[in-house]
Amino acid sequence: MSPVKALLTLFTALALAAPAAGAQSFSQLPGSAEAGSAQAPEPSALPEAVEDPSAPNAAADFLVKPEAEHDQGAELFDPWQTAEKSVPGAPKIPFFDIAKAEAKAQSVDLALVLAVIQKESSFDPHAHSAAGAKGLMQVLPDTARWLGLRDTRQLTKPAVNIKYGVKYLKYLWDEFAQTASADISPAEIDMKASQMALAAYNAGQGNVRKYNGVPPFKETRNYVEKVTRYFKHYEDLLKELAN
C-alpha cells in the first residue's frame, strides 16, 4: 500500500470513530440516556425538584396584593360592632375558635391574626382577588405551596386558610420584627421592624427590603395603618372577653 493511500485510510478510520466516542461521553453525563442511546430521558423519569423551605418565595416577593373582592351578598364582619360578651345579641367574631387554636399552635399573637383576617377579607371565607389570593387571610396558592400545602384547592377551607396564613405571617415576623410573635404589645406593633413585617404580608418581602421599611405604595401604607389599628382594637376586645 502506498504512503498516500495508507494516510487516507487512517483519516477515514479516525472520522468514523469520532461519533462513537462522542456518544459514549454523552451517555456518561448525569441524567443522560443509557449508553448507545441518543435520546434524553422522559420527563417522568427525572427526579422532582425539592423546594428549600428556608428560601424566600420569589413569586410574591415584589407583588402588592390588591384589595379582596367579595361575592354579592357576602357577610362582612365589622369589628366595631362587637360589644362585651355580656351584651345580649352582640355579634361574635367569626371563626374565632379556629384562629385562636392556630395562633396558639404557631405562637402568634391572636390579636395580630384577627387583625390580618379583618383587613384581608373582613372574615369572608369566599373572598378572592385578581392576583389569585384566596380566603380569610388571602393566601396566594404559590405561597401556600411553598409553605408545604400540596393541594392548594384546600385554601377555600377556613381552617386550612388560617393555618397557612398564620404560617406565612409567622415567617415574615421572624424575618423582620425584633420582638417575639407570641405576645405583641401595642407599643411593639408600632416599631419600624414590626411595621415592615406587616408590610411584607401585603407587598412582599422583596419590596420591604428594597426600601428598608414600609414601601411608599398607597395600598401598602393604608394596609399597615389599618392592620395596626385593628390589632389594637382586638387587643382591647380580647381583654374584655377574658374578664
Residues 117-144: pLDDT tens digits? 999 999 999 999 999 999 999 999 999 9
Confidence of residue 57 (pLDDT cuts 50, 70, 90): low
Query: What fold does the segment set 58-242 form as a domain?
Result: Lysozyme (1.10.530)
Phi, psi of 69 (to 5 degrees): -105, 150
Residue 146 has pLDDT above 60, yes or no: yes
Can you list the positions of beta strands (E) in the chain? none
Residue spans of the domains in the chain: they are 3-45, 58-242
Q: Which of 4-8, 152-156, 185-189 has the lowest mean pLDDT?
A: 4-8
CA distance 199 to 227: 10
Can you read off the three cell numbers belonging to residue 239? 381583654
| CB of 99 closer than 8 Å to CB of 113 | yes
Determine the average pLDDT of the residues in 208-236.
97
pLDDT surpassing 80 at residue 58: no
pLDDT, residue 61, reads: 86
User: What predicted TM-score, i.e. pTM, was given to this entire model?
Assistant: 0.75
The three grid cell numbers given for residue 207, joined into one nine-digit string: 419590596
Q: CA 86 to CA 42: how far, in whole Å? A: 66
Taking residues 109-124, report their average pLDDT.
98
The catalytic site residues sit at 120
Which DSSP string do the residues of 68-130 spell out, in sequence order? Answer: PB--TT-----GGG---TTSTTPPPPTTHHHHHHHHHHHT--HHHHHHHHHHHHTT-TT-B-T
Mean pLDDT of 218-226: 97
Taking the C-alpha atoms of residue 42 and residue 133, their distance in angstroms, rounded to an integer, is 34
